[in-house]
Chains A and B, each alone.
Chain A
Amino acid sequence: MPEIKDPLIPAIGVVTDIRRDTPDVKTFRVVTPDGVKPFIHKPGQCAMLSIPGIGEAMFSITSSPTNEDFMEFSIKKCGCVTDWLHSMEPGQQITIRGPYGNGFPVDTEFAGKDMLFIAGGIGLAPLRSVINYCRHYRDRYGKIDIVYGSRSKDDLVDYQEIIDEWATDSGVDVHLTIDREQEGWDGHVGFVPSYVKELNFATNKTAILCGPPIMIKFTLAGLIELGFSKEQIYTTLEMRMKCGVGKCGRCNVGSKYICKDGPVFRFDQLDELPDEY
């Protein structure tokens, strides 16, 4: 047998806990069969999860690297693999390989900056890792603003953690919004891009966007209108992936492989790529 490990051969993961977040999002806690965290990762990196016989798919790692006990994935039900994941019970083994991708530059470009996180729907999943990393190393960053919107109150992922932990931190402001009025909701109502403009953020912040393409497009335009430059704004891309290591060709955009060179990009870097993501 060849001595080198092959990146396509996965390891076993055990799903120890499954939390329902929204009608179509569940958060899965994964450890190794020995009960430890599968591997070390950086905020914004991803992992390939699979159920043999069903298939393999790439997911962003939702938990922060500062969590030393386990790894979490918030996953929306929207295809073969995710349907299967949603139907399983705790104790189920899956396969896991990674980490993949570049991750957010939390220790370099983000250091000392005021952070503005903007997410829509399941787009919070990849940002939760960075947000909790910044909260853990609170003194390394300036003020933290989090704008998060979804279709309804019931579709807000991690709602309890947001209310109980994020919103109560000092120096962290959480701005939630839902698309339409809803009974029992006295918060903001409206789409994320217009809410971001209303909030009229100071332009010295580093902004990170993640959500549906339409939200990204209009939020980016809104931030530029407020006076942000593309060099201050980051996003994380989603493409179909099979290998995760820059070889199978699916996530190729220009000379980049999103799985390996991304998924995190600054908008000035994206300007240099063909518009195919």
Chain B
Amino acid sequence: MRKLSLERLDALLSSISEKMPLYLPVDTDGGAHFVRFQSGLKPSEKLLPSKSAKDIFFPQSEELVNFKVDGKKIEIIDIRKECEDFVVWGVTPCDAKALRVLDNVFLAEPIDSFYKNRRDHGIIVSLACARPSETCFCQTFGIDAADPDCDVAIYKADGYLYLSPKTDKGEKLVASLADLTEDTDEKPVEDAKNTIRERLAKLPLANLKADAFGAGKTSKFFDAPEWSELSESCLGCGSCTFHCPTCQCYDIKDIDTGHGVIRQRCWDSCMYSEFTKMSAGQPRLTQKERFRQRFMHKLVYYPERYNGLYSCVGCGRCLRVCPIGMNIVKVMKKLGGNENA
């Protein structure tokens, strides 16, 4: 465990960015967003960046492959490049856990090389949540915001920043910052963890439980009459999916530039009617089915496929962005029977 005075944070960030690209959430006029660090940029004090760090590993859109077409001939151009090591600073514990959710999908055989490339080279520095908000419910999914699942966990306490490496990648990063940091005992961090856990216990959603959901619950919930009422006002705008750190559905589209063809993928949403529409028909005819798919996938189908892990990390972004005020918490309360939680 190492520490440095918070007054020297800019020097620390500058030192990292001299070694490799550093991304961190910075306040903009449209909320906090991950940007590449330049000297003088201050990390946002906001609880959550508008979009999670997912964007860095699985970008909203990216090129997969290019083609040149000449008469009847096609040339395939593999544009992939091995990326350099980089640091993502200030990832929240929920967003860090969300990467594990994405890992199960993208790193399963056959491996998605675009995602793996960035995961192999990305070093996640996660700030333990000192002041979680009323929309937070990471605890519901077993996430400890005081002990993030990442490469380096950082804590702020009594004017210092504490750095606790948790993986080999994290050890290397922290070792490379030895000039700026000093050794410390773990007591202040243990105290900070306790304070965080006390705050977490007092959150309004602290008692929300996911136990009613999980593997094997399809027949219990699929035909539940509550889906009609829950989905009634859903606009199908997809805001929830686009802000969600665990949503991983994507589309693949070709763009003919006139000089060649770019095949790119971009985020897509199961909330959209086009998502499953095919010439042979439409398996999900109304918004009710599409709405149900999103929540069944997060709470039942995904855990069934991936060892009980839920595909929600309780970040609360969907509670903030939904234009009709619908969200996974309301779904869980209504269907899971813990309405008073």
Contact = CB atoms under 8 A, between A and B. Distances in A.
Nearest to B105: A247
The 6 closest A-B pairs by CB, nearest first: A249-B249, A52-B67, A255-B304, A52-B261, A6-B113, A78-B279
Contacts of B74: 12, 52, 93-95
Interface string B299-310: 011101100000
23 contacts: A1-B81, A1-B82, A2-B117, A7-B111, A8-B265, A52-B256, A52-B261, A53-B254, A56-B254, A79-B279, A212-B280, A213-B280, A240-B275, A240-B278, A242-B265, A245-B110, A247-B105, A249-B270, A252-B270, A254-B304, A255-B215, A276-B284, A276-B289
Contacts of B296: 274
Contact of B254 (A52, A238, A250, A253): A52
Contacts of A277: 283
Chain A interface residue number, banded: 35 or more
Contacts of B199: none
B57 interface: no
A9 B283 CA distance: 28
B276 to A, nearest CB: 5
B250 A4 contact: no
Contacts of A5: 113
Interface in B93-130: 105-106, 108, 110-114, 116-117
Interface in A238-277: 238-240, 242-243, 245-250, 252-256, 272-274, 276-277
B13 to A, nearest CB: 29
Contacts of A35: none
Nearest to B106: A247
Contacts of A40: none
A254 B218 contact: yes
Interface residues of B, number: 56
A91 interface: yes
B51 interface: no
B67 A255 contact: no
Interface of A: 1-2, 4-12, 50, 52-56, 78-79, 82, 89, 91-95, 212-213, 238-240, 242-243, 245-250, 252-256, 272-274, 276-277
A53 B69 contact: yes
Contact of A274 (B82, B117, B222): B222
B114 A242 contact: no
B104 to A, nearest CB: 10
Contact of B76 (A1, A11, A212, A254): A11
Contacts of B251: 242, 248
A94 B263 CA distance: 14
A53 B222 contact: no
A246 B67 CA distance: 24
A240 B67 contact: no
B135 interface: no
Nearest to A272: B218
Nearest to A90: B72
A272 B261 CA distance: 42
B80 interface: yes
A216 to B, nearest CB: 12
B72 A93 contact: yes
B281 interface: yes
B307 to A, nearest CB: 11
Contacts of B64: 6, 8-9
